[in-house]
Every structure is written in C-alpha cells, then in structure tokens.
Amino acid sequence: MKQNSHPLIIEPKQLESELGDKNLLLVDLSQPQIYAQYHLPGAVYLEYAWIVHIEPPCTGLLPDAAQLSNILGALGLTEDTHVVAYDDEGGGRACRLLWTLDVVGHQNFSLLNGGLHAWANEGHQVTREIYYPQKTKYTANIHEAFIADRQYILDHMHNDKVVILDTRSPQEYAGIKVFAQRGGHIPGAINIEWTDAMDMNRNMRLKRENELRELLEAHGITQDKEIITHCQTHHRSAHTYIMLKSLGYKQVKGYPGSWSDWGNDTNTPIEN
C-alpha cells in the first residue's frame, strides 16, 4: 500500500491545490439533493445507508466484509487510493466512512476540515457535474482492533485504563430523550457531545488542537487510556473517533450499533 502522504485532517486550501491527483478519491456523503446542487470537482457520491447495516431494533451496525468489498469496489477504491471524505453536516457521515476504512485496514484517508460548509463558504470551486467512479475489485477484511462490541464493553467497563466516551446529547445521556427501549447511559461513561469538538465560527471545522486537548483532559480522557466512542448508532461518535486519532490517540475503538444496541438489550446495565 502506498504510504500516506496527506494529513488526516486536510484543509480546503491544501485540497484545492491537489484536485486532479489520480490517486485521490473525493467522496461526498452529503444529502443527495445537496450533492445534486453542488459538490467538489471530481467528487463521487456515496449514500450513507450503504455503509451501515440494520438489524432492527439495532441500526448503525457494521456491514460484513462481502458487502464492504462491493461498496468500496463500487467507489473505485484501490490499495493505493487516498480517500478524502466530506459531508454537509460537520463530518459525522464522512467520519463513519473513515472509521470503516480503518476497520478494513485502508489507512490512506483524510477528513476535509469543515466539509462542504468550509469549502463552499470560503469560495472554493464547486460543480454540478456528476462523477461516476470506475469500479474496481476491492477485498475488505475486518480488523477487530478498531471495534468494540457489547461484550467487549461489558468486559472492560470497570477497567480504569478504558474510557467509554458517550457523544450523544446531555439529554440522551441522562435518559430524558430516549431513542431505544431504555434510556440512560453505560455505567461510568463520560459524556462529551460531539459538536463540542466543532468550531461553529470556522465553518464547522474541528476546534484548534489546544482547545480539544483541554476539553478531553478536563474529562480525564488522556492518551494513555483506551477510548471507546459511541452515540446512538456510531454516526456522531465516528467524528469523535477521527478527532481523537488526529490528536495522536493510539488506542481508540468505535462501538457499531452503539445505544441502539445497548439500550435495546434488557440485560445490559444502565445509569441515568
């Protein structure tokens, strides 16, 4: 695999200078109507629903290797492709794709900082031209190192070296807003809403590094610990996963299914 030569978090100005690079694959996970109106030159569209699996009542599960192989091959992915993902919501859907790439061992990827908001609002070129990828044969293999399932959390929830980071709203965390059979949170979980990492005054970019480190360390989330991120479906928490990676956190896992899995199982412990 070609060595990753791009930063994990890429700025619009840097990306614009590299448009047209044959090894770059721009993937747009915005709403389809937004992609139809405007998107980055050369960007292919990916429907978010294609990269998640549903087994009611659980949503946001990880598709199997065969399905991921088909999806990534349909995008035109090769081993040497560097993916730059973005969306129109601050990066949640884009980061779920990047976490998925991590899971299948494809680590050549970047998040466009601020996504479509930063790109368009700062005057970079957009187009309405639809781009169709050239299909490839891509083989996805699941790497468990980046995944925490329900049993893994049950086995590690009392480990002082493991932090369960709940990125839902405070109302969901407290069990006031309930989107599963039961409300509340995983015992001992720390709550930082995913948008707390965004700078709304800079077109939904990630906050500056020093601000993010202060936020995390104020909650005891330090680099010597393993961090498990989750939300309702591992959509918002995928953004937090990528944010942690961008700060150099080495032990980070995502919980596919998240609260839709935990809160719909009557045998899991909860607090509220």
Domains and CATH numbers, the chain: 9-143 (3.40.250.10), 147-262 (3.40.250.10)
Could you list the pLDDT tens digit for every one of the 272 residues in the chain?
444 579 999 999 999 999 989 999 999 999 999 999 999 999 999 999 999 999 999 999 999 999 999 999 999 999 999 999 999 999 999 999 999 999 999 999 999 999 999 999 999 999 999 999 999 999 999 999 999 999 999 999 999 999 999 999 999 999 999 999 999 999 999 999 999 999 999 999 999 999 999 999 999 999 999 999 999 999 999 999 999 999 999 999 999 999 999 999 999 999 98
What does the DSSP 8-state code read for residue 82? Answer: E
Instruction: Describe the strand order of the beta sheet including 9-10 as a list of residue ranges.
Output: 9-10, 109-112, 82-86, 24-28, 44-45
- Residues marked active site are found at 231
Contact between residue 163 and residue 190 where contact means Cβ atoms under 8 Å apart: yes
Number of DSSP helices (H) and strands (E) in the chain, helices first: 10, 13
**Residue type at 43 in one-letter notation:** A
Peptide bond before 57: cis, by omega within 30 degrees of 0? yes
Model confidence, pTM? 0.96
- Beta strands (DSSP E) in the chain are 9-10, 24-28, 44-45, 53-55, 58-61, 82-86, 109-112, 162-166, 190-191, 198-199, 205-206, 226-230, 252-254
| Block residue for tokens 């700062």 | 122
